[in-house]
Structure 1
Amino acid sequence: MFRGKPVLAFVHIRKTGGSTVDMILRQSFGAGHCRIRLGKERAANPVAAAAEIRRCRWIYWKMKCLSGHGITPHSDLDSISKQLRFFTFLREPVTRCASDYQFRVVRGGLKQPFHEWVRTEYAGNQQTLKIAGRPDADAAIEILDSKVGFVGLLERFDESLVLLQRWAQPMGLDIRYQAKNVSGNSSIKTQLLTNPESLSLLREVNQEDLKLYRYVNEEIYPKRVSSFEGDLANAVEDFQRTNQPPAVYPRQIGSVLLREMIYKPLAPLLRNSENTTVPQMRAAS
C-alpha cells in the first residue's frame, strides 16, 4: 500500500502533549499528514480500522503519517503495511487525569462534580485503555514492547522530542513547537492534586496506568536514552536554544486546505458503518 515507505502512526492519548505533537507532524509532512476523523458517534472509544485508512489514501495519496484519537496499536492497522511505525507519549497518570478533568470543565463546559466524573469510563486508566483496548497494564506493556517503536514522556518533553526525531530518521521530522492546549489557569488541577480525598480517588482509578507508567519510566525510556548516539544533554540544549518555529509553515497551508475542503466533507463516506466491528489485536494471555 505504501510501496515500502515508512508511515508514522501517532497514538494520541488525552492530555499527554498530543496536540503539540500533532502540530509537529502537520508542519513536518504537510499534505502527507492525515488526522483521522471518526465522528461523534464513535467518540467514546474511537478505534480506526485498516479499511478506513485505505479509503483515506484516496485523498492522502502521499500519506506519511497518521494521527487522531482513533489511531491505536491494538487495532488491525498494522495490516496496512509492515512499514507502519507506532509511537506515543505518556504522562504521570494521576496528574494526567486531574488535567483532563480541568480541561473538560474549563474548555468543554463539564458541570459534573469531580467525585462523580472520576468514577466514569472517561476518567481512569485512559493510557492503558488507548494502548491495549482495555484497562490492563500487562496487556499494554506487551503491546508497547512488541508493536510501539517509540514512547516519549510528557515530563521530559523536549528530550523526548529529540529522541523521537532521531528514531524517525530519515523522515525529516521538524520538532520545533509552540505548546498547544495548555491551560493558563491550573487551579482546578492543583486543588485536586493537593486535596487528600481527591488525590486518593485519582490514584484508585488509575492503578493500571500507574503500573504502565512505572514500567515505561523505569524500563523502556531509559533504554531509549542510553541508545542515543552522541551527547543527549547537549542535543536537548541545542534544540531548546533554536526552538523558534515560524508563524506559518508553507506546507501547512496545503495540509489545511486538503483537510478542510476535501477530507472533512468526505470523511463520513470514508468511515466504516456504525455497526461495523473493528478487528482488535489482543495481547497473548
Structure 2
Amino acid sequence: MSPIVFVHIPKTAGTSFRLGADSFFGKENVCRDYGEKAVETSTIVREWISSDKDGWLFARDFEKQGYQFLTGHFHAAKYISIFDASRMITFLRDPIQRIASEYNHFVRNNGYEGSFEDFFRSPQNVNRQLRLVGKNNWAEFGFIGFVDAYQDSLKLLNRKFEIDIPQLHENVAESEVVKPQQLTKDQIEELQILNAEELEFFSSARAQFDWRLRLACADESYVSGCVTHVEMGKLRGWAISEDINNAVLIQVKVDNEIIGECKANEFRPYCRARGLGRAGFIGFSFEFSREINVGSVECVVANTQQPLLNVYS
C-alpha cells in the first residue's frame, strides 16, 4: 500500500490526528518531517531530504524501512513528486481563526513579543494554509478535512483509505484549536484583504468536502477532478471516481444548460506521473460547436451533479 502523506498545518488539530495515526499504524511506522532541527524529525528525513535531496533514494529507503505514514510541517511540493498526490491529505481551519490561534501559540510557547498585527502582516504568515498545500496542488489531494467538522472528516478519510485512525483527545491543545478567537473589526478586515486567496481556496475546498459528505450519506462515489483549460474552442480536464474501475461521465454546461457529455478516460501523462489513479487514463476533453463565454462553463459529474473544480485562469 502506498504511504499516506499528511501535510500538518499548524493549529488545525493535526497533533491529535497524528497521535491517532501513531496508534493505528504503530509509532515506528510513522515518519516525521518537522524541520531539520526538530528533535521529532526522523533520521531518514535528515539523511535523504535535508542533506542529499535525492527523492528517489528517500522513497526507496522509506519503503525498505516499512514506513506507512509521513507527517510534518512541510510544503506539499516537497513530497508530491515522490509519493502519489492522491495519497496526500490535510486538515484546514478558518484562515482568520487559525492565524489568531497560531499567534497565541507563539506568544505562549515561543516567547514572541510582537503585536498581533506584526505577526499576521509577516509574509510567511499570509495565505499560509494555501502555501503549504500548494495553489496548483490542492485539487490533486486525496483528502482535505476540516477542523470544525473533525469527526465527519475522520470518518470520511477512514472510509476512503480503508483505515481506522481513532479520534483521540490526548492533545491538551486541541480544545484551544477550536476555541474562537476574539478579534476587532479592523483586524478582521485587514486579515480578509491579506488572505483573500486563502479564503477563496478555503471556500472551494469546503464546498467539495460538503459534496463528499453528501455523497457518502447517499452511498455514492465522490469524484476528484478539475477543468484545467478552456480555450480555442476546447475544454480539457481530468476526473477520477473513488470507484476507479468506472470512468467518470462528465456533463458540460454553459449558462447552466447541458450542451454535451464526455468520458474521463483519455490518457494524461501528467496525471500518471502524479499518481492520480487509473494509470493516467482520467482525462477528458470537449469541443464547443459555437463561441461561448468562458466564465459560464461548468463541468459536473453526470449521475450526481457534483461540480468539478475550475483551475484554469
Aligned equivalent of 2:76 = 73
1:63 to 67, 83, 88: 67
Q: Quick one: distance in 1 between partners of 2:91 and 2:151?
A: 12
Aligned equivalent of 1:223 = 211
Compute the displacement of 1:176 (Å).
2.6
Could you tell me which amino acid in structure 2 is paired with residue 39 of structure 1? Answer: E
Contact between 1:125 and 1:205, CA under 8 Å: does it hold in 2?
yes
Aligned equivalent of 1:266 = none
Compute the displacement of 1:90 (Å).
0.7
The answer to whether the aligner puts 1:13 opposite 2:9 as a matched pair is yes
The answer to whether the aligner puts 1:182 opposite 2:173 as a matched pair is yes
Q: Quick one: distance in 2 between partners of 1:200 and 1:185?
A: 23
Aligned equivalent of 2:32 = 35
Aligned equivalent of 2:254 = none
SS of the aligned residue for 2:89 comes to: strand
Contact between 1:7 and 1:65, CA under 8 Å: does it hold in 2?
yes
Q: 1:37 to 1:123 in 2, by over 3 A?
A: closer
Give the aligned length.
209
SS of the aligned residue for 1:111 comes to: coil
TM superposition outliers: structure 1 runs of 4+ over 6 Å: 183-186
Aligned equivalent of 2:190 = 201
2:19 to 16, 23, 28: 23
Compute the displacement of 1:78 (Å).
3.9
Aligned equivalent of 1:168 = 161
Compute the displacement of 1:227 (Å).
2.7
The answer to whether the aligner puts 1:143 opposite 2:134 as a matched pair is no
Could you tell me which amino acid in structure 2 is paired with residue 225 of structure 1? Answer: L
TM-score of the two chains, using structure 1 as the length reference: 0.64
Unaligned 5+ segments in structure 1 are 42-46, 133-139, 232-280
Q: Quick one: distance in 2 between partners of 1:90 and 1:184?
A: 16
Aligned equivalent of 2:199 = 210
* Alignment deviations for residues 81-131 of structure 1 (CA, whole Å, 9 cap, x no partner): 548610111111111111111111112211111121221123221011101
Contact between 2:32 and 2:72, CA under 8 Å: does it hold in 1?
yes
Contact between 1:26 and 1:33, CA under 8 Å: does it hold in 2?
yes
Q: Quick one: distance in 2 between partners of 1:101 and 1:83?
A: 30
* Alignment deviations for residues 9-43 of structure 1 (CA, whole Å, 9 cap, x no partner): 001111111111111111111111111243249xx
Greater relative CO, 1 or 2 (CA 8 Å, sep 6+): 1
Aligned equivalent of 1:252 = none
Q: Quick one: distance in 1 between partners of 2:218 and 2:159?
A: 11
SS of the aligned residue for 1:89 comes to: strand
TM-score of the two chains, using structure 2 as the length reference: 0.59
Compute the displacement of 1:206 (Å).
1.3
* Alignment deviations for residues 145-186 of structure 1 (CA, whole Å, 9 cap, x no partner): 2x20101011111111111110111xx323231152527779
Q: Quick one: distance in 1 between partners of 2:206 and 2:85?
A: 26
Compute the displacement of 1:62 (Å).
1.1
Q: 1:120 to 1:181 in 2, by over 3 A?
A: farther
Contact between 2:145 and 2:209, CA under 8 Å: does it hold in 1?
yes
Q: Quick one: distance in 2 between partners of 1:130 and 1:107?
A: 22
Instruction: Return the index of the structure with the highest Cα Rg.
Output: 2
Compute the displacement of 1:211 (Å).
0.5
Q: Quick one: distance in 1 between partners of 2:176 and 2:164?
A: 31
Higher helix content, 1 or 2: 1
Q: Quick one: distance in 2 between partners of 1:34 and 1:184?
A: 26
